[in-house]
Amino acid sequence: MPLEQLRAYKPALTKLPDFDAFWSESLEELAQVPLRYERTPFPYPVKGLKVYRMFYEGFNHSRIEAWLALPESSQPLPGIVQYHGYNWAWDNQLLDTVNLALKGYAVLQMICRGQQSESVDNVVSSNGHVAGWMSKGILNPREYYYRAVYMDSVRALEVLRDLPEVDGDRIGVTGGSQGGALTLAAAALSDIPKLALSDYPYLSHFERAIDVAPAGPYGELNEYFRRHSSDPRIEERAKETLSYFDIMNLAPRIACRTWIGIGLIDEITPPSTVFAVYNHLSCEKEIGVYRYFGHEHIPAAIIPRLQLMQDVLGS
C-alpha cells in the first residue's frame, strides 16, 4: 500500500457491543487485586543509579516480574513504564531500562507473564493452542492470554505511580512491537499515562494481519485457524475474542499524547495495520514514517522520542 493510501487507511472497527463493558469488568477485576509489590536492590556497576528487581501482584493475583531503575534525584522523577517485544524477554533484561533511567526517568519494565523469566502465567485455558501465546485461550475473551497481560500492563502503571520517588502526574508508556501494543493498550485502559510512545505496534487489525503477515508472529493465528478448519465456528469465535484485544478497537479510548513509529518495509507489523490504529486515534498524535526500515531498531526515531519525553514529561 503506497504511503498516500496508508495515510487515509481507516478500516471499520470490529468491536462488539459489549466491548467497553468487557474492559470495565476486567478493570474491576484488576481492582480487586491489592496493589502489592516488593523490590530488591540489584547490584549494578553504575554510579548515580539504583536498580531493583521487582515483583508485583498482577491480574488474577499472579506474581509479575519487573525491573526498576531510578536515577539519583532530590526531586520526584517523571516515570516511564516499558513493555518488551513478543517472545523477547531475557534474564537481566536491564539494558534499556538502565539506559532510559540515566536520561532522568524512573523506569519500570514489566516482564510479560510466561514469556521467559519469572512472571507467572496463571490463567489456565480450557483449550490447547499453537506454540507461543497468540492463541492461548483464544476461544474465550475471559481466558485469552492478552486479557491478563493488558491488565498487568495497567497494574505496572499503578505500581510505578505508587513509588515515593515518582511524580505520578508525569508518567509515560513505551515499547516496540508487542511492547508497542501494550503501550497503546495501557494508554487506552488507564488514565495514568500522559504520553505513549509506540514503535511498530503489534496486535492490531488482526483481520488484515492474517492475510498479509502470515510469516511472522501473527502467523500463529493462521496456524490456529488452519488446525481448526473442519468447523468454521472455531475461527469465528476466535476472531470475536481477538476483537476485544485489537489495538485498533482500543485506539479511540486513548486520550494522552501519542507517537507511533513505523518502517515502510516492516513485514512483521505491516504498515497498513499500524496506520489502521493511528488513523483511529483521536488524541494529539504524530507518526514517524521510515521509508527504508522494517521491524528493527530505527536510529532516526531516537531523538524524536526523547524530545517528546522531555517535552511532555520533563526530565
Whether residue 208 contacts residue 271, with contact meaning beta carbons closer than 8 Å, is answered with: no
User: What count of other Cβ atoms lies within 10 Å of the Cβ of residue 227?
Assistant: 13
86 is in an annotated binding site: yes
Q: Nearer Cβ to its own copies, position 254 or 308?
A: 308
Whether residue 103 contacts residue 310, with contact meaning beta carbons closer than 8 Å, is answered with: no
Q: How far apart are CA 296 and CA 23, in angstroms?
A: 31
Angle 231-235-236 from CA coordinates, rounded to 5°: 105
Segment 286-305, which members bind its own copies (CB under 8 A)?
290-293, 298-300, 302-303
To the nearest whole angstrom, how small is the minimum distance from the Cβ of residue 223 to its own copies? 8
To the nearest whole angstrom, how small is the minimum distance from the Cβ of residue 19 to its own copies? 26
Interface with its own copies by CB under 8 A: which range of 20-28, 31-39, 76-84, 100-108? 100-108
The binder of its own copies chosen from 46, 61, 284, 286 (CB under 8 A): 46
To the nearest whole angstrom, how small is the minimum distance from the Cβ of residue 131 to its own copies? 4
Q: 92, exposed or middle or buried, with CB in 10 Å at 0-12, 13-18, 19+?
A: exposed
Q: How far apart are CA 28 and CA 287, in angstroms?
A: 33
* 178 near its own copies, rule: CB under 8 A: no
* 228 carries an active-site annotation: no
Q: Give strand pairing partners of 173.
A: 81, 196
* 233 near its own copies, rule: CB under 8 A: no
x-marked contacts with its own copies along 121-140 as a string, rule CB under 8 A: xx-xxxxxxxxxx-------
* 74 near its own copies, rule: CB under 8 A: no
Catalytic residue among 96, 199, 246, 266: 266
* 75 near its own copies, rule: CB under 8 A: no
* 177 carries an active-site annotation: yes
User: Judged by CB under 8 A, how many residues of this single chain contact its own copies?
Assistant: 66
The binder of its own copies chosen from 5, 40, 103, 284 (CB under 8 A): 103
* 35 near its own copies, rule: CB under 8 A: no
Segment 187-226, which members bind its own copies (CB under 8 A)?
222-226
Q: How far apart are CA 273 and CA 277, in angstroms?
A: 7
Nearest to 107 by CA among 86, 84, 89: 84
The binder of its own copies chosen from 58, 78, 85, 114 (CB under 8 A): 114
Length, in residues, of the chain: 315
Q: Which residue has the cell 476486567?
A: 26
Q: Which amino acid is at 188?
A: A
Q: Nearer Cβ to its own copies, position 10 or 103?
A: 103
Q: How far apart are CA 246 and CA 260, in angstroms?
A: 16
Interface with its own copies by CB under 8 A: which range of 93-101, 158-166, 177-185, 250-258? 93-101
Interface with its own copies by CB under 8 A: which range of 18-26, 43-51, 155-163, 182-190? 43-51
Q: Which amino acid is at 33?
A: V
User: Helix 232-245 to helix 145-162 angle, to the nearest 10 degrees?
Assistant: 10
Residues whose CB is less than 8 angstroms from the CB of residue 163 and which lie 6 or more positions away in sequence, other chains included:
68, 79, 106
Residues whose CB is less than 8 angstroms from the CB of residue 220 and which lie 6 or more positions away in sequence, other chains included:
130, 131, 132, 134, 135
What residues are labeled active site? 177, 266, 295
Please report, in range form, the residues annotated as the binding site: 86
Residue set of the binding site for substrate:
86
Enumerate binding residues for its own copies (CB under 8 A). 44-48, 63, 87, 89-95, 99, 102-104, 111-122, 124-133, 222-231, 234, 290-293, 298-300, 302-303, 306-307, 309-311, 315
